[in-house]
Structure 1
Amino acid sequence: MKMFITLITLSMLSWPTLALDIYQQALANSQRPEQDLEADPRRKPEQVLAFFQLKPGQKVLDLFSGGGYYTELASIVVGEQGLVDAHNNNAYLKFIGEEKLLKRYQHQRLNNVTQLHQEANDLTLCEDCYDRVLMILSFHDLYYVDEKSGWPQIHASSLMAKIRRSLKSGGLVGIVDHNAITGASIEVAQSLHRIDPKLIKDYMTQWGFSFKAESTVLANPQDKGDLPMWDPSVKGHTNRAVMLFKK
């Protein structure tokens, strides 16, 4: 009788409940840097990763991975049977700094991670190989240009065609970005480093991806979307879109 009750109890546990433990365990990993731990409460990665459905054994591309906050979490979640490719262009590498990246990756600290240092327009990827592609706070950068700082104009449609080819059938693209005011033009990507979430949907569907879901886990109605994302009043706490698209 006791075993029967236990089996019923287990059967009542949904996949999201069980899966959430994977991400909670990743956050609790003792090897994570202190600065990452400090960022967890505001970035809510356990909920974001659960929404993106990262699982052990997957192959993941972290596009414009920056300092590697999500790269490391993905590395832990996919485990020894999974792989993570961490992409950065030269401008991101310069912005993040060599010392910070060394601390993250030196001595094969994340031995299932490969760094890809390539300009977006020259990016070469495997085909039909990724289960997930992450674009964390970087979708708007597809429409940002700063030649003097080494950020050339990105051929967005060409890049995303490569991304689509690199995904397995049914693979998912997870996007997080700073929301702009509803109806804002793409020009705010340049001036505010933000984007209207509707434009993300429009572009992604134009490029052949199907919209799957969105989450309000990083919503902040106090942020009106009319200030640069680095403004002290909103930095680190912008109202953010969290979206999932399928190949």
Structure 2
Amino acid sequence: MPLSRRSVLAAALFLGLGTGLPALAHAQAIDPALQALINGSQRAKFNSVRDRYRHPGEVLTFFGVQPDSTVVEILPGAGGYWAEILAPYLRDKGHYIAANGEKASTSAEVQKDNAGLAAKLAADPAEYGKAEITEFSADKHAIAPAGSADFVLTFRNIHNWMAAGTTKESFAAFYQALKPGGILGVEEHRGKPDQPQDPLAKSGYVRQNVAIGFAEAAGFKYLGSSEVNANPKDTKDYPAGVWTLPPTYKLGAEDHAKYEAIGESDRFILKFQKPGT
């Protein structure tokens, strides 16, 4: 059977193509139990329809998440895209921790996200009953006990920390929570490498080398990248920044078909390790 584009990309990312790192010995297949949950009935339709842009199986396999892992997800929000997959996957042998917004936040958006995620987890105790919610606000709270997490995962959040001036503190919190040898997984909207980085990332786009710099400054070792969520159709020059594209469509009906055809943003996936064993 011919390989699909998705299979080819998955093989390429595990072989380390384009990363400048030594190739891994073998491509890694997605755990059938993980794939079953990605396809599972516990997932909301508004989340699963985005899988063609977000490739959850390939991303989690690239990071190396296992059923017995302790995983901290940073700011899963109300929708719980990754929570729907990770919480049941880790339920029996591992531990899923959702480091959502600060409980005392005065932001209506943060409070909405907190309430939405709490309600989502409470509504299905069979799948989510062992999940834990902690607070994240840069380094103000322990997202997990120090040195306890196998993985800290953050998806498209760096631009917000740049705008708030809290990148250093945020990455320090990740480093604190991880075990020696633990993995930090990062996804972000990829900025143009030939243009200066806006220090506030007002467009939502972040240069890949800038994100690597934030992690390395915190003490992490860069292990490599995945291109599974690359989108060459993303020109990154929209009137409302990355939020012009789906799923936000900030311009509403204006040029909707054009932006729909582009799809979700071009994204890098980066893998880092906390030194030690």
TM-score interval w.r.t. the shorter chain? Answer: 0.7 to 0.9
**Structure 1 residue 70 corresponds to structure 2 residue 62:** no
Q: Deviations over 1:135-161 (max 9, x none)?
A: 11112221113xxxxxxx42x223322
**Structure 1 residue 93 corresponds to structure 2 residue 110:** yes
Task: Decide whether the 8 Å contact of 2:204 with 2:242 is kept in 1.
Answer: yes
Q: Judging changes above 3 Å, is the alpha-carbon distance between structure 1 residues 118 and 199 closer, same or farther for their aligned structure 2 residues? A: closer
Q: Deviations over 1:18-64 (max 9, x none)?
A: x4423311212222222222222221111111111110111111012
The percentage of counterpart residues that share the same residue type is: 21
How many angstroms does 1:15 deviate by?
7.2
Alignment of 1:56-205 (within 5 A): 56-66=67-77, 67-89=79-101, 90=105, 91=107, 92-94=109-111, 96=113, 98=115, 100-107=116-123, 108=125, 110-124=128-142, 125-145=144-164, 153-154=165-166, 156-187=167-198, 189-205=200-216
State how far apart, in whole Å, the 2-side matches of 1:173 and 1:105 are. Answer: 24
How many residues get paired? 224
Task: Decide whether the 8 Å contact of 2:145 with 2:177 is kept in 1.
Answer: yes
Q: Deviations over 1:119-146 (max 9, x none)?
A: 224122311100011011112221113x
CA RMSD of aligned residues (A): 2.3
The runs of 5 or more residues in structure 2 that have no matched partner are 1-25, 246-258
How many angstroms does 1:201 deviate by?
1.0
State how far apart, in whole Å, the 2-side matches of 1:178 and 1:112 are. Answer: 31
Q: Which has the higher helix share?
A: 1
How many angstroms does 1:195 deviate by?
0.3
The runs of 5 or more residues in structure 1 that have no matched partner are 1-13, 146-152
Task: Decide whether the 8 Å contact of 2:186 with 2:269 is kept in 1.
Answer: yes
State how far apart, in whole Å, the 2-side matches of 1:236 and 1:171 are. Answer: 33
What is the aligned partner in structure 1 of residue 14 from structure 2? none
State how far apart, in whole Å, the 2-side matches of 1:236 and 1:206 are. Answer: 33
How many angstroms does 1:97 deviate by?
7.1
How many angstroms does 1:226 deviate by?
2.7
AA at the equivalent of 1:120: A
TM-score (norm 2): 0.73
Q: Judging changes above 3 Å, is the alpha-carbon distance between structure 1 residues 239 and 82 closer, same or farther for their aligned structure 2 residues? A: same
How many angstroms does 1:102 deviate by?
4.7
How many angstroms does 1:208 deviate by?
0.8
TM-score (norm 1): 0.81
State how far apart, in whole Å, the 1-side matches of 2:209 and 2:145 are. Answer: 30
